[in-house]
Amino acid sequence: MSDTQPDTSSQSAGGRLVDVVLDEASIARSTPEVEHDRAVAIYDLIEENSFQPVGHPATRYVLNLAVVEKRLVFRIRTEDEQDVVTHVLSLTPLRKIVKDYDLICESYYEAIRHATPSQIEAIDMGRRGVHNEGSTILMERLEGKIEVDMQTARRLFTLVYALHWKG
């Protein structure tokens, strides 16, 4: 007989993402740092997330993210390719925070090359604060559509940031 306990974490209680696909047409070429952040966000998101489309059963989901005509598109399918729901959100409420985040990220990546550790830490604290603000706005925009926790929203915001500035 095994002493293994079933997983009772919040991840298993609701739905979760098992894959995230970014629309290639929506992605702008970016710096190596941003590309790295995007790859890490996808990896971390798949590893640990809480993602539950409202009104749908708790299961394993695949998320396709795209920007189409200045709108953020969340296309959600089950792991076995069954369409669940598509949500289309205006990017307008996120525009300012993404611009602010872009500016602070540029400062952060420049600081990593030339600044003192205390300067880097100060900029990074500001970067995390703006990132949290963007994540909160994203959670508010998804309210009533998709339930996510803050960590999932943070990783999703990183991906929205990667998609947002195409062209």
In tens digits, what is the pLDDT along the chain, a chain of 167 residues?
434 333 334 344 589 999 999 987 777 667 787 778 788 889 999 999 999 999 999 999 999 999 988 899 999 999 999 999 999 999 999 999 999 999 998 899 899 999 999 999 999 999 999 999 999 999 999 999 999 999 999 999 989 888 865 53
* Per-residue tokens: 114: 């030339």
pLDDT at 14: 85
Alpha helices in the chain (DSSP H): 10-13, 32-47, 92-114, 117-142, 150-164
pLDDT at 72: 92
Domain borders along the chain are 10-164
pLDDT at 31: 73
pLDDT at 1: 42
